[in-house]
Chains A and B, each alone.
Chain A
Amino acid sequence: MTITITDTNQSVSNPTEDQRVVDKEYILHVENLNIYYGENWAVHNVQMEIEKNAVTALIGPSGCGKSTFLRSINRMNDIIPNARAEGEILYDGINILRDDIDVVALRKEIGMVFQKPNPFPKSIYENLTHALKFAGIRNKGKLDQIVEESLRKAALWDEVKDRLHQSALALSGGQQQRLCIARTIALKPSVLLLDEPSSALDPISNAKIEELILQLKKDYSIIIVTHNMHQASRVSDKTAFFLNGDLVEYDRTSKIFTKPSEKKTEQYISGQFG
């Protein structure tokens, strides 16, 4: 049996439905999440709630489990042999770690952008339509419309509108990364996972990506893994600090960067290790 979760948008985006949530709505509930690579226990008992239409930053030194955690949210760890996740990640009340989840449908709902820009070696237009066509959209007019809309949202339209049918590989690194974001939001996901999206880019491209993230949070719930403390403090509403697989501290970004409760957090953000 497969569970389709393509039609859950309405219920999640309807604010009147759940009046019990007083301050903020949550899009993801993570309960007792443990992730293992074979014998290696990579993520320990993580418990956190991810806010809707906000930017959540995951910070921590390399190997602390933040990327592993991120990749488990759209089940990208499935393609790694020996990786397994225990516990729950509730998305609209459904545990997406269950074996009978339709992973393909899930990944349309929860999109991901990777550290290294990875456009397909095809034209800019085809990069966007590749997944749309697979999702069953064949109408040329409709495709054109989504392509333009997504490229506009990703702040790339003006730069590429005259060369949509040229190779995506001819774009600069920053443009490629925005194309990857456009490609992901073309599927109208509700959650965007960004795995160090600008660490491979120059400062100007980086600034553009950050600007884009701030705009996108109106429509999407964004989780971003970053090594850049400044980036975390600039773009995120909440920040989670991971260390050696533990979620050490999770709070409002302003609090984490001004007066963190944990000694370790303070040491990390002030650059004493990591």
Chain B
Amino acid sequence: MNRKIADRIATITFVGLSMIIVAILLYLFAYIIMNGFSKISWDFLTSPSSNILAGSGIRDQLFNSFYILILTLIISVPLGVLGGIYMAQYAKPGKLTNFIRSCIEMLSSLPSIVIGMFGLLVFVNTTGWGYTIFGGALTIAIFNIPVMVRTCEDAIRSVPRELKEASLALGITQWHTVKTVLLPSAFPGILTGVILSAGRIFGEAAALLYTAGLSTPRLDYTNWNPFADNSPLNIFRPAETLAVHIWSINTQGLIPDVTEKAAGASAVLVISVLIFNLLARWIGSMYYKKMTATK
């Protein structure tokens, strides 16, 4: 009798807790999107921002966010995947591996403002680049690489041991097994990790304040020369991202419609992250179906 009651209480508690999480999430989404969605228009997305005039947009900030995101992923995904393969398959259990693992965990849990200050010292001052997209991307990569290593390690470890044994027992080398059996099986997990961390990068502000800067030069989207000062593709130009923009107009904005702009920008940010998450699930399951040849 008591056990039955305990069982019931446990069930109710767990269901209740997950309902609370869902409720908070739904409330946040609803609040942000209801406040911001009406402010989003084609004009808002495609016109440049202004520090003083009303009716400005977020064109450059939106572009900068995606650009920094892509650069960061180009830097951190290959390194993260290789690190994950090492940790999951090659690292021998022992003191050294434990030490590496603690370093990875520590690095991924450092406050991003601290990493931002480090980026300011190294990628802004020491290199003499000033505020740049590239410096920002490198800074974010510092805490994204450990996250990627961890995600890839977990994804590779979750591939059944039987599959690895099957491949090795067929006279296939460890590296070829990693490439052709473990990585394809771990791919959906790795992809989910990449896209989820993309959401985090997209919304990162603190680490970019002092590395990519709070301003964007006047950009000419017809100029595709990556070395030109006014080219959006130039990685050595300052770039204010969407998340930084939300912070900056809220704290020091002089535009009269600051509330609307902040709400609109927040909604764009949240919707983008939401799209990333859905994309992660969709591509992951598509790939899995294709790989396993199941219909």
Contacts and interface: CB of A to CB of B under 8 A. Distances in A.
Interface of A: 74, 76, 79, 81, 104-108, 111-112, 114, 116, 118-123, 130-131, 134-135, 165-170, 180, 183-184, 187
Contacts of B164: 79
B294 interface: yes
Contacts of A130: 167, 170, 172, 180-181
B172 A81 contact: no
B171 A114 contact: no
B279 to A, nearest CB: 22
B168 A134 contact: no
B292 interface: yes
21 contacts: A76-B168, A79-B168, A81-B92, A104-B171, A104-B172, A105-B171, A107-B168, A114-B162, A114-B166, A118-B162, A120-B163, A120-B166, A121-B163, A121-B185, A121-B291, A130-B167, A130-B180, A131-B167, A131-B170, A134-B172, A134-B173
A125 B25 CA distance: 46
Contacts of B92: 81
A178 B93 CA distance: 35
A213 to B, nearest CB: 18
B170 A107 contact: yes
Interface residues of B, number: 24
Nearest to A117: B162
Interface in B198-232: none
Contact of A122 (B165, B168, B171, B291): B291
A116 B162 contact: yes
Contacts of A135: 171
A74 B162 contact: no
Contacts of B163: 118, 120-121
A74 B168 CA distance: 10
Contacts of A74: 169
A76 B170 contact: no
Nearest to A113: B169
B1 interface: no
B160 A118 contact: yes
B293 interface: yes
A131 B294 contact: no
B170 A111 contact: yes
Contacts of B166: 114, 118-120, 180, 183
Interface in B234-287: none
Interface string B138-173: 000000000000000000000010111111111111
Nearest to A78: B168
Given A131-B167, A167-B293, A169-B292, 5 more contacts: A76-B165, A104-B173, A114-B165, A114-B169, A118-B162
> Which among B93, B165, B172, B293 has the greatest number of chain A C-beta atoms within 10 A?
B293
Contact of B171 (A116, A120, A187): A187
